[in-house]
Chain A
Amino acid sequence: MGYDVDTIFQIAGIGIVVAMIHTVLKQMGKEDWAQWVTLIGFVVILYMVATIVDDLFQRIRSIFLFIG
């Protein structure tokens, strides 16, 4: 299992950096770009979360005999 505390710092870091970029782009008057940055950051985090949730469900399936 390759999960440890680093990953939650990564997620929080991505969140803060994206919020910062969003604010800067908004100040520059590029609203549409700001929206795209938010969306891409969201997708990246969603991918990380989906990976661990998938792993969790696979483990639950194998432990609680859901294979059949």
Chain B
Amino acid sequence: MSLDMIQIVGFGLVAAFLSMIVKEQKPAYAFLLTLFVGAMIFLFLLDHIVIAFQLIETLANQANINMIYLETMLKIIGIAYIAEFGAQIARDADEGAIAQKIELAGKVLIVVMALPIFNVLIETVISLIPG
């Protein structure tokens, strides 16, 4: 894992340097370079995220948790990662307004996804109340 970290940092430094050089000539190209590097580092991280998720899944299976809850949780984490990625790319392109809208969309979608679970929780609590 530490070797992977060194690899990513080296990769990021090379990319930052190249982006600095290209930005003087063509800022749009530098932006695409940044986008590419971001996607590549993310792809790199996905391999490790898979390992963590498999562990969570095994634990949930052993604890007999309903798979729908786990699935919703994974989707929410996915939405958070994608929203973060998109917002940072938009912010890199000096489009702070678009970045904030992407983040807002991510928050709204997460709330909508969590609503059914919240509903179940409220119903459980109500059913526990006697009378």
A-to-B contact residues, CB < 8 Å: 1, 3, 5, 7-9, 11-12, 14-16, 18-19, 38, 41-42, 45-46, 48-49, 52-53, 55-57, 59-60, 63-66
Instruction: Please determine whether B29 and A14 come into contact, CB atoms closer than 8 angstroms.
Output: yes
Task: Note all chain A residues with C-beta closer than 8 A to B35.
Answer: 49, 53
Q: Is the CB of A7 within 8 A of B36?
A: yes
How many chain-B residues does the 8 Å CB contact rule pick out?
Answer: 32
Stretch touching chain A among B43-51, B94-102, B114-122: B43-51
Q: List 17 A-B contacts (CB under 8 A).
A: A1-B43, A3-B40, A3-B43, A5-B14, A7-B36, A8-B15, A8-B33, A8-B36, A15-B25, A15-B33, A38-B26, A42-B29, A42-B32, A52-B39, A57-B82, A64-B74, A64-B77
Instruction: Report the separation of the CA atoms of residues A15 and B53 in the bound assembly, to the nearest whole angstrom.
Output: 39
Whose C-beta in chain A lies nearest to the C-beta of B27?
A: A15
**B74-A18 in contact (CB<8A):** no
* Given A8-B33, A65-B75, also A18-B26 (CB < 8 A): yes
Looking at the assembled complex, report how far the CB atom of A30 sits from the nearest CB atom of chain B, in whole angstroms.
18
- Separation in Å of the B51 CB from the closest CB of chain A? 11
> Is B87 interfacial (CB-CB < 8 Å)?
no
Report how far A56 CA is from B44 CA in the complex, Å. 10
Residues of A contacting B42 with CB < 8 Å?
56
CB within 8 Å of A: which B85-128 residues: none
Determine the chain B residues whose CB is within 8 A of the CB of A56 once the complex forms: 39, 42-43, 46
Q: Which residues of B from 44 to 82 have beta carbons under 8 Å from A? A: 46, 49-50, 53, 71, 74-75, 77-78, 81-82
